Structure 1
Amino acid sequence: METLKIIDIQERAVPIKSSIRNAYIDFSKMTASAVAIVTDVVKDGRRVVGYGFNSNGRYAPSGLLRERFIPRLLEADAKSIVTEDGSNFDPFKVWDVLMTGEKPGGHGERSVAVGVLDMAIWDAVAKIEGKPLYQLLADRYRDGQADDKVFIYAAGGYYQPGKDLSALQDEMKGYLDLGYNVVKMKIGGDSLEEDVRRIEAVLKVVPSGRSLAVDANGRFDLETAIAYGKAMEQYDLFWYEEAGDPLDFELQAELGRHYHKPMATGEDIFSMQDARNLIRYGGMNPERDYLQFDCALSYGLVEYMRTLNMLREYGWSSRRCIPHGGHQMSLNIAAGLGLGGNESYPGVFQPFGGFADNHAVVDGYVTLPDTPGIGFEAKSNLITLLRSVAE
């Protein structure tokens, strides 16, 4: 059998600009990298191309991709990145090639660049095998048992010019009308008093506090985080997310001594090692709290599986993982490896946010298409963009 080959890799920085803002940044100049890994494999008369991109909140790592990681992968010996029988690419071997010459630590934007290419490789691998990625993962790691639907929540509630309490309420009611049971809003971009008014306005239109999560995007110092916690504990919210800096594990642990309802964090932790430090020192409760690691920002699925193995060693269930990002890659991981759910962006970050066309949200859950690969081909606005990168 002739060795499979990668014959080209293309990258493009794509704007996802928007007028919205959270407690830390606005998204007016935000970009993402979209990549296409073109292989020499032909299936059903079409060349297999694997697609990938990075999640919102981190800018396109174009320089790292073009100067370091894409050349490294293209220059690799073809036999060094395929399975032992040569029938497919091996994402773990590809990951090792990408990280050749990279010192440990300092995860930063490097983890985003690797995550983009890792997503594209897994897309290609599943297409070559002729399976949806979630089923491929279930077959390899879960005795073939994929979840037939995945819990998702609607992330929104951003600060926007001219957006008053009535507009915020209308937005959240719109998510409920789409089939979501849990919605999320931003806090920390205004005063505590104003944010309490915003929270209470939303609570008037959702079934209960358990239908609302809040997200501070790491804005608070310890004193402010505790003050918000004391003000919000009465509402029994779905979770209180990323109160302080994502690597301030002492702040997170101390907050947990004052706020006794569910908390969530992890979307800005980009490696298994940092995730392990969160578990060791962040005071997170495996029976109550949620972890939001996003493979598209943290070295990809190869590293995410290492993180899941670490969590098991520390007594955490994969069901406590609800990834950030609102994209189809995490949705496949959730269904294939048994996570607790996935974020969703019904109104923003298009075309990357959202899932397959014609798969509506029903009672807070969504199903996945049986399209081989990650399923980008079942999302019309996204596959149009991705194919333009390859062509």
Structure 2
Amino acid sequence: MKIVDIREATKPIKSDIRNAYIDFSRMTLSLVAVVTDVVRDGKPVIGYGFNSNGRYGQGSMMRERFFPRLLEADPASLLDDVRDNFDPHKIWRTLMTNEKPGGHGERSVAVGTIDMAVWDAVAKIEGKPLFQLLAERYGNGTPNRKVFVYAAGGYYWPGQGIEGLQREMQSYLDRGYSVVKKKIGGAPLDEDRRRIEAVLRLLKPGQELAVDANGRFDLPTAIEYAKALSNYDLFWYEEPGDPLDYALQAELANHYAGPMATGENLFSMQDARNLIRYGGMRPDRDWLQFDCALSYGLVEYLRTLDMLKEHGWSPRRCVPHGGHQMSLAIAAGLGLGGNESYPDLFQPYGGFPDGVQVEDGYVTLPDLPGIGFEGKSDLYREMRDLAS
């Protein structure tokens, strides 16, 4: 049993949208295929992965450092000692050979993308959905296939205006989402307030709005927004300041009593631990958005969940960034609080397998081997082309 090839293609997911910090006019991602010599149903098992939006493709780094390490390793060194399968933890250690501690930047995205493809292959070899495999190995044995999802959107579009924003948000509500999210910080506060109030007017009982500043604010601006946002009953106030400014986050808790969310731009267990130690996050109300595809993958995410447990946090407070099926599988298998979703943006990489509908803010994961990419026809066409 061995990995016989690893392939990467850098794919465009460009759009005219922008948040408070960046636009997406040149955005890319890496699509990866890990090809094995294991045969199931008459075909080689191939695992697939891709990185979340907002971080760009990592193909050159993968080809220069990470692919060669796997392909040059003794195949036996990558195998599970107990199961007839690959061992994602051994593969992860091989990927990280000769990498210094720290430096959790672009390499965490490259490794996280490969790690996703490895877990997809491992679950396919066992003939199980990844959520079932995770529940059996690391959870209570029984996955919860019904997962909360929220609709992320509300970017600043050229010429969209208030009416266009309302049409966008209403379309998410009409598709069954109970929580929608919009961007703030890319316009003056008064304009952002008008945009918030326009969305709030659409909401019915049981529906909520989250807002996301994408790390734009310094402390005085974050506090100014906190005072304004306190007039609304929001699902959360997300990433107000630089993600590594734990003092800002901690101070903001003194000015905003409602739920806050952050963590999507922390790329390691150590960074996540510093947030929990020093960021003033409150386990009774706040949300953690660590994204395995950006932070060294599921192997590292398991370490992060162990750290959270040690600090008194429930995995139910984790709602990962990224809107991809990998985090959906983790949420179902390990009991997370839900997952982000992009109903229209960053396609075909966002969304769910064909036929999966959102009902009252939840989706039910289908019984597909691996992560379930093959169930999303437009996405699987991209993956099949890479592997062929």
- Please give the TM-score of this superposition, normalised by the length of structure 2: 0.99
Q: Which residue of 2 aligns with 1:122?
A: 119
State whether structure 2 residue 371 is matched by structure 1 residue 374: yes
Shift of 1:369: 1.4
State whether structure 2 residue 170 is matched by structure 1 residue 186: no
Shift of 1:77: 0.5
Asked whether the equivalents of residues 319 and 340 of structure 1 are also in contact (C-alpha less than 8 Å), the reply is yes
Superposed CA RMSD in Å reads 0.9
CA distance in 2 between partners of 1:228 and 1:209 (Å): 24
Specify the SS of the correspondent of 1:12: strand
Counterparts of residues 243-254 of structure 1 (less than 5 Å): 243-254=240-251
Q: Which residue of 2 aligns with 1:273?
A: 270
Q: Which residue of 1 aligns with 2:49?
A: 52
Q: Which residue of 2 aligns with 1:234?
A: 231
Shift of 1:148: 2.4
Match of 1:110 among 107, 112, 119: 107
State whether structure 2 residue 286 is matched by structure 1 residue 289: yes
Q: Which residue of 2 aligns with 1:202?
A: 199
State whether structure 2 residue 139 is matched by structure 1 residue 148: no
Where does the alignment leave 5 or more consecutive residues of structure 1 unmatched? none
What amino acid is aligned across from residue 182 of structure 2 in structure 1?
M
What amino acid is aligned across from residue 302 of structure 1 in structure 2?
V
State whether structure 2 residue 136 is matched by structure 1 residue 139: yes
Asked whether the equivalents of residues 225 and 243 of structure 1 are also in contact (C-alpha less than 8 Å), the reply is yes
Asked whether the equivalents of residues 30 and 57 of structure 1 are also in contact (C-alpha less than 8 Å), the reply is yes
Q: Which residue of 2 aligns with 1:70?
A: 67
Report the CA distance shift for 1:243/1:174 in structure 2 as closer, same or farther (over 3 A).
same
- CA-to-partner distance for each residue in 1:205-238, whole Å, 9 max, x for gaps? 0126960000000000000000001001110100
- CA-to-partner distance for each residue in 1:100-137, whole Å, 9 max, x for gaps? 00000010000000001100000000000000000000
CA distance in 2 between partners of 1:39 and 1:203 (Å): 50
Q: Which residue of 1 aligns with 2:297?
A: 300
Specify the SS of the correspondent of 1:190: coil
Number of residue-to-residue matches in the alignment: 388
Runs of 4+ in 1 over 2 A off after TM superposition: 207-210
What amino acid is aligned across from residue 214 of structure 1 in structure 2?
V
Shift of 1:84: 1.0
Q: Which residue of 2 aligns with 1:330?
A: 327
Shift of 1:51: 0.3
What amino acid is aligned across from residue 18 of structure 2 in structure 1?
R
What amino acid is aligned across from residue 229 of structure 2 in structure 1?
M
Asked whether the equivalents of residues 151 and 342 of structure 2 are also in contact (C-alpha less than 8 Å), the reply is yes
State whether structure 2 residue 130 is matched by structure 1 residue 161: no
> In terms of mean alpha carbon deviation, does 142-151 or 247-256 score higher?
142-151
Asked whether the equivalents of residues 178 and 206 of structure 2 are also in contact (C-alpha less than 8 Å), the reply is no
Match of 1:346 among 324, 343, 357: 343
CA distance in 2 between partners of 1:190 and 1:148 (Å): 39
Q: Which residue of 1 aligns with 2:3?
A: 6
Shift of 1:144: 1.5
Shift of 1:89: 0.3
Shift of 1:347: 1.0
What amino acid is aligned across from residue 318 of structure 2 in structure 1?
C
Asked whether the equivalents of residues 319 and 339 of structure 1 are also in contact (C-alpha less than 8 Å), the reply is yes
Shift of 1:85: 4.3
Asked whether the equivalents of residues 209 and 238 of structure 1 are also in contact (C-alpha less than 8 Å), the reply is no
Match of 1:99 among 96, 99, 112: 96
Q: Which residue of 2 aligns with 1:38?
A: 35
The percent of aligned pairs where both chains have the same amino acid is: 71
Report the CA distance shift for 1:143/1:112 in structure 2 as closer, same or farther (over 3 A).
same
Asked whether the equivalents of residues 209 and 235 of structure 1 are also in contact (C-alpha less than 8 Å), the reply is no
Specify the SS of the correspondent of 2:151: strand
CA distance in 1 between partners of 2:215 and 2:121 (Å): 35
Match of 1:262 among 259, 262, 271: 259
Specify the SS of the correspondent of 2:15: coil
Asked whether the equivalents of residues 354 and 377 of structure 2 are also in contact (C-alpha less than 8 Å), the reply is yes
Q: Which residue of 1 aligns with 2:210?
A: 213
What amino acid is aligned across from residue 363 of structure 2 in structure 1?
V
CA distance in 1 between partners of 2:107 and 2:274 (Å): 19
Report the CA distance shift for 1:79/1:86 in structure 2 as closer, same or farther (over 3 A).
farther
What amino acid is aligned across from residue 7 of structure 1 in structure 2?
V
Where does the alignment leave 5 or more consecutive residues of structure 2 unmatched? none
Shift of 1:390: 1.0
